[in-house]
Amino acid sequence: MLIRTLTKVASRYAPSRVLSFDMVHIFKALQLMENEGHISRALLTKELGLGEGAIKTLVKHLKMQNLIETSKSGTRMTQKGRAICSALVSAVPAETRLPKCSVALGKYNHAVLLKNLSFAVKSGIEQRDAAVKMGAIGATTLSFKDSKFVMPMDSSGYDSLEKEPNIRKLLVEKLKPEEEDIVIIGSANDSSRTAELAAKNAALVTLVNHEKHD
């Protein structure tokens, strides 16, 4: 239901124009409502980096799927919206900003944890492309195996953060990864928001692709 609902919200309703928002903006919007309770369209515009017209359409689509309700005090989630948000947070339960390092090459870097999907990542190219789509310079995907952060397709089991204990400690403390979890790091040079959306979009693309092939 999670992926199906997100796909519906992010789909065009003929004869509408091509949408300028994606599933990741829906995710972020629901997170904002979860944290703030009520949220204004002005804050959505600021936090999502979308124009007023795109936000108006996003709100319309969220209402059509009964995920939100609007009032004079702002926009808030419905019971269905909270259920979808809860499912998203269960799949992507933790995130943190990262300084520039060997696995995070941008001026701004944002890491997210994706639960139990290490097997669903092949080379990491899909995740990188999903990040670039958001305006990022790329993304790094790491699997957590045997208490090590391992690059996709690395059969040697080499810990990519062996020489960066401070970064390793930060990821472990902030994200609390477990066996077969994935850490995706979005990197951008223009803003922390781009890095965040890049990492989250890469995580959502991984979820969607896994759902298609499950």
Q: Mean pLDDT lowest for which of 13-22, 88-97, 140-149, 154-163? A: 13-22
Location of structure tokens 């972020």: 28
In this predicted structure, the answer to whether residue 123 has a pLDDT above a threshold of 70 is yes
In this predicted structure, the answer to whether residue 168 has a pLDDT above a threshold of 90 is yes
Question: Does residue 161 share a domain with residue 82?
Answer: no
Please give the C-alpha separations between residue 190 and each of 107, 135, 136, 137, 180, in angstroms, as whole numbers.
8, 9, 8, 10, 32
pLDDT of residue 16: 58
Question: Strands (DSSP E) along the chain, which ranges?
Answer: 68-71, 74-77, 94-98, 108-114, 138-145, 148-150, 182-188
Do strands 182-188 and 108-114 pair parallel, antiparallel, or not at all (unpaired)? antiparallel
Question: Does residue 75 share a domain with residue 12?
Answer: yes
Q: Which amino acid is at 145?
A: K
The candidate with the shortest Cα–Cα distance to 120, out of 45, 214, 44, is 214
Last residue of a domain, one of 32, 65, 88: 88
pLDDT of residue 214: 54
* Non-local CB neighbours of 164 within 8 Å, separated by 6+ positions: 101, 102, 103
In this predicted structure, the answer to whether residue 15 has a pLDDT above a threshold of 60 is no
Q: What is the arithmetic mean of pLDDT over 104-108? A: 96
Question: Does residue 192 share a domain with residue 123?
Answer: yes
Last residue of a domain, one of 35, 65, 88: 88
**How many domains are there within the chain?**
2
Q: Buried b vs exposed e over 42-81: b needs ≥16 C-beta within 10 Å?
A: ebbbebbbbeeebbebbbebbbebebbeeeeebbbbeeeb
Which pTM does this prediction carry? 0.93
Question: Does residue 198 share a domain with residue 144?
Answer: yes
Question: Does residue 68 share a domain with residue 19?
Answer: yes
Question: Does residue 84 share a domain with residue 97?
Answer: no
pLDDT of residue 144: 96
pLDDT of residue 164: 96
pLDDT of residue 186: 98
Q: Mean pLDDT lowest for which of 2-6, 58-62, 64-68? A: 2-6
Question: Does residue 111 share a domain with residue 76?
Answer: no
In this predicted structure, the answer to whether residue 62 has a pLDDT above a threshold of 90 is yes
pLDDT of residue 159: 96
In this predicted structure, the answer to whether residue 26 has a pLDDT above a threshold of 60 is yes
* Non-local CB neighbours of 177 within 8 Å, separated by 6+ positions: 113, 144, 171, 183
211, β-bridge pairs: none
